[in-house]
Structure 1
Amino acid sequence: MKLEDIRREYLAGGLRRDNLQDNPITQFKLWLDQAIEAHIPDPTAFTLATVSSEGKPSQRIVLLKHLDERGFVFFTNYASQKSQQIEVNRNVCLHFPWHGMERQVEVEGVAARIPLKESLAYFLSRPRDSQIAAWSSRQSHPISSRKMLLMQFESMKAKFAEGEVPLPDFWGGYRIVPSAFEFWQGGGSRLHDRFQYVKSAEQRWAIERVAP
């Protein structure tokens, strides 16, 4: 089949201004809850876009681990590519693709490291093997083989065989403080519904419909 012949209609339902909450965080939580209830695979997974000091964009999928009025939180190795790019350009973009509900959400914002105590609290909640994995991987750096990665994992497992696994000083969370949202709901004949939330000068959220 030719790629240009692959298409389908989006008929799950429309989106109207009256359906939207005035606060985009509240609206996002509502859609996220609905995605979880609908058993969408990996509903907390989102694509995180960052930009290097040379202006080159890159993307990867990470998991949302906390959300409140302050913003979106994820965790990573601070030596990773995403972290290095955030350190030189804190402007990022998030994309949540809930294909099963014909929805997607885009969030623009600014990323900053969260306090150490918040990273520690989350790290201690992780399964032990996940804690050890954080010590075992030099994320985004070249590695000769998977065997070497597994050897390093076993080495760290032996090192921390007794007692709690400490929080690595190179690992922790980022909070993305949002400045703009877009909520997208698929529509028939490619007439999709798109609404953007943008903060005004008075720090209030203005909502407007944009053409698909």
Structure 2
Amino acid sequence: MVFQDIAKKIKDKINGYLYSVGDPLPTEVQLAQHYSVSRNTIRKALALLEHDGMIERKHGSGTFVKQKNFIAHVNHMNSLSEIAKKSGKEVKSQIIKFEVQEATQLISTELKIMPQDPVYYIKRLRLIDDKPIQLEETWLSVNRFPALTISHMKNSKFFYIENECNIKIIGTFETFSPVFPTPEVASILHTSIIDPILKIQTQAVDEKYEPIDYSILYSNIFEFQVKYFLPRQ
């Protein structure tokens, strides 16, 4: 619908550098002229943004930016928990599935273990300020992490690996690709199957460049954006 498209355009501007929290938005008349739509369409778009908690409408004063979606600035490897906390955000993990499986050929190759070796399969939803941001599927070797529990995965996976298992993580390999979500993923992330999301395949490695985990992340790009700074060598 047109008002949803307008809402996304306004949201993108709010999340950019044009506005800060507390700044006023243009009037309904100005927005209607800018986007060449009716005031009724603008009202519907603003109502959607107000429902999402991004703007606040004050009678007699206008419409103001209430909050911006989470944009992470990354110049070295951090976990989502670390990135969120540095930005003053609260991150939570909702465990959807935690079970032991036999490693498939793909997983055994990624983790450098034997096919059918036991692996943990964890599916968890990452929330920032109670908004669903990222769906994560992770596989870890049971033999390497025999004491792993649901409690560990409710917090930072990297914190457990480095501080309780004394394994130094030196970095991750990441592969990015835009995809359309399945109905299940769209439902979990509170998005639509026609809106693209970002699929990220990641693998953390230790000091010997041995794989620590293998993960597939599905990120809602309308709620969670990452800006990378890559230094030139």
TM range (shorter): under 0.3
Answer with 1 or 2: which has the greater Rg: 2
